[in-house]
């Protein structure tokens, strides 16, 4: 989603880099490319016109002319305008003061309403609510059964008194569903309504009757992001028929151009509340306009990545791992397996990496990444005994051959994993001991004169600087401490910081303000 739009906008902004001043011609060329990118993404024409006009007006104003980096200021303006057309600030569900809260789902057939009902029920349950799903789609074959299956998977109750498949009155079922929730203590009711292949009078009348019967607190339009501008027109008709209060975007994991998401808020005036990003129950998230704008402009979405990590990683397990490393224990393959499983619970690795800033330039490498490589790594580790995972040094040739056969891989794959893990262990030991990242300039351990780096001294044969010899040092710690104590203190350099050097000269004090002269003992 948004891949083509993101690529074109990123390419457009590259032409602005390094320019100390933007002429009107530069702004016009940039706005023209932005307009073409949005139209190519199937964004509604009125939205494109309003968006580009706002960007052009701000780009030609003092906001950019007075900026130290005009190119970056234009990117900032585009980001803010994207946030605006995506809805501005995030909006939460409106909960009723007197439960139950009634949420009605509306939309065309095939948009994913029934699947979304299960995801929404699961999300509400995770938020501490007690939801119930009401099966009011009595037209589509097996729609009731599908909702019951989704409810069972989500661990959420389902109210389905009618079998469906053309049998039953959806308005009566919706009314009885709310009464059932009130009697049983459910605080949220999710009403799954029927859809059609197109908007017709019967569909609108049925949706309107259900709305009048249950008086929903939220009427959410389930919008299929794959069908472009026709979805926006449909949303507008539903808004006129049942007065939408919010939108839920589905199939954002597809390869659609994203025009519907960028147009629906402006066209309907209803904010996007949620986004469905996959087939799993957990592939459901609150929609944040600022984060989505960041993804489009390749600025990343680190906050969503952190939230997913908090859900996937067990706090107790993480604390135990931290304590283990603080005690000085080595990171083992058993620990590695636990951490890898937690990372995989966050979703596909390539999707997580795409949330990092600047990963748009590595899109081809990310798309080429094979998730099955993680399966092979996990199979190798699981084929080891607990003792082998704790200490890889015992892995001789016969053990490695057995592990390769047990995991369906080659011995070379086992060797490669063990070697890379050994290097990672060594790096973690050095970081734990305060040595920093090995070989990294500007970090302890790689900085000259800092913990294992090359200090001042004479040059070797290959031009490398060698440490100076300053006498022998005893291997006995107590004796070495006595030898160091007997050495004369090194003289402080003249004029060193914090007043540790030689006293300032009279002419130097004369050049200072009176307050400084008093502080330094001057006249």
**pLDDT, block means (10 residues), the chain with 523 residues:** 74 77 85 88 86 89 70 84 86 90 90 91 94 93 92 94 88 94 94 81 87 93 79 81 89 69 83 87 87 75 67 68 69 82 74 66 67 86 91 91 92 91 80 54 37 39 45 55 56 38 45 45 43
The answer to whether 283 is annotated as binding is no
The answer to whether 501 is annotated as binding is no
Tokens of 453: 């780096």
The pLDDT of residue 457 is 39
The answer to whether 67 is annotated as binding is no
In the chain, what are the domain boundaries?
3-85, 101-299, 309-432
- Cα separation of 320 and 332, whole Å? 13
The answer to whether 108 is annotated as binding is yes
The answer to whether 251 is annotated as binding is yes
Structure pTM? Answer: 0.63
To the question of domain 101-299 being in CATH 3.10.180.10, the answer is: no
The pLDDT of residue 14 is 80
The pLDDT of residue 491 is 45
- Cα separation of 131 and 427, whole Å? 48
The answer to whether 196 is annotated as binding is yes
The answer to whether 363 is annotated as binding is no
Cα angle 414, 420, 424 (rounded to 5 degrees) comes to 140
**b/e map of 119-132 (b: 16 or more CB within 10 Å)?**
bbbbbbbeeebbbb
CA 126 from chain centre, in angstroms, equals 19
CATH class given for the domain over 3-85: mainly alpha
The answer to whether 192 is annotated as binding is yes
DSSP state letter for 359: G
The answer to whether 250 is annotated as binding is yes
The pLDDT of residue 522 is 44
The answer to whether 503 is annotated as binding is no
| Nearest Cα to Cα of residue 322 among 432, 418, 425, 437 | 432
Q: Tell me, yes or no, if the two domains 3-85 and 309-432 fold the same way.
A: no
CB 269 within 8 A of CB 237: no
The answer to whether 194 is annotated as binding is yes
The answer to whether 393 is annotated as binding is no
- Cα separation of 207 and 225, whole Å? 22
Q: Is 115 helix (H, G, I), strand (E, B) or coil?
A: helix
Q: In which residue are the tokens 């074109």 written?
A: 8
User: In the Cβ-directed half-sphere of 498, how many Cα atoms lie within 13 Å?
Assistant: 2
CB 67 within 8 A of CB 198: no
The answer to whether 406 is annotated as binding is no
DSSP state letter for 135: E
CB 287 within 8 A of CB 273: yes
The answer to whether 193 is annotated as binding is yes
The answer to whether 184 is annotated as binding is no
- 309-432, superfamily in CATH? Signal recognition particle, SRP54 subunit, M-domain (1.10.260.30)
The answer to whether 7 is annotated as binding is no
The answer to whether 107 is annotated as binding is yes
The pLDDT of residue 483 is 61
């Amino acid at each position: 989603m948004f891949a083509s739009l993101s690529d074109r906008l990123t390419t457009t902004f590259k032409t602005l880099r390094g320019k100390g001043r933007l002429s009107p011609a530069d702004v016009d060329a940039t706005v023209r490319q932005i307009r073409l990118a949005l139209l190519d993404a199937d964004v509604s024409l009125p939205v494109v016109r309003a968006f580009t006009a706002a960007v052009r007006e701000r780009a030609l104003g003092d906001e950019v002319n007075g900026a130290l980096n005009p190119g970056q200021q234009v990117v900032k303006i585009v980001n803010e305008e994207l946030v605006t057309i995506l809805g501005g600030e995030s909006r939460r569900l409106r909960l009723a003061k007197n439960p139950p809260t009634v949420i009605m789902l509306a939309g065309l057939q095939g948009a994913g309403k029934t699947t979304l009902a299960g995801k929404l029920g699961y999300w509400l349950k995770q938020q501490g609510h007690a939801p119930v799903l009401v099966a009011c789609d009595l037209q589509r074959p097996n729609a009731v059964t599908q909702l019951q299956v989704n409810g069972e998977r989500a661990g959420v109750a389902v109210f389905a008194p009618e079998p469906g498949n053309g049998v039953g009155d959806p308005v009566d079922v919706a009314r009885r569903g709310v009464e059932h929730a009130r009697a049983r203590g459910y605080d949220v009711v999710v009403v799954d309504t029927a859809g059609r292949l197109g908007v017709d009078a019967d569909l609108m009348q049925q949706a309107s009757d259900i709305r009048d019967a249950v008086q929903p607190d939220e009427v959410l339009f389930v919008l299929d992001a794959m069908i472009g501008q026709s979805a926006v027109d449909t949303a507008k008709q539903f808004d006129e028929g049942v007065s939408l209060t919010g939108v839920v975007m589905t199939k954002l994991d597809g390869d659609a151009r994203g025009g519907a998401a960028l147009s629906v808020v402006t066209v309907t005036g209803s904010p996007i509340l949620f986004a469905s990003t996959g087939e799993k129950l957990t592939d459901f998230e609150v929609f944040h306009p600022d984060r989505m704008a960041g993804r489009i402009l390749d600025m990343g979405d680190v906050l969503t990545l952190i939230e997913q990590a908090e859900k996937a990683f067990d706090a107790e397990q993480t604390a135990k791992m931290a304590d283990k490393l603080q005690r000085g224990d080595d990171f083992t393959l058993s620990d590695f397996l636990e951490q890898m499983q937690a990372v995989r619970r966050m979703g596909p690795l390539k999707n997580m990496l795409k949330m990092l800033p600047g990963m748009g330039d590595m899109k081809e490498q990310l798309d080429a990444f094979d998730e099955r490589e993680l399966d092979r790594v996990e199979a190798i580790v699981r084929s080891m005994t607990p003792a082998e995972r704790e200490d890889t040094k015992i892995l001789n040739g016969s053990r490695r051959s057995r592990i390769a056969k047990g995991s369906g891989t080659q011995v070379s794959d086992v060797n490669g994993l063990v070697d890379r893990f050994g290097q990672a262990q060594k790096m973690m030991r050095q970081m734990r001991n305060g040595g920093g990242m090995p070989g990294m300039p500007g970090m302890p351990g790689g900085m000259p004169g800092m913990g294992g780096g090359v200090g001042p001294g004479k040059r070797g044969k290959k031009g490398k600087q060698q440490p100076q010899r300053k006498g022998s040092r005893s291997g006995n710690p107590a004796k070495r401490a006595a030898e160091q104590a007997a050495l004369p203190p090194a003289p402080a350099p003249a004029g060193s910081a914090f007043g540790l050097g030689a006293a300032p000269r009279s002419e130097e004090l004369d050049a200072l303000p009176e307050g400084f002269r008093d502080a330094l003992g001057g006249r």
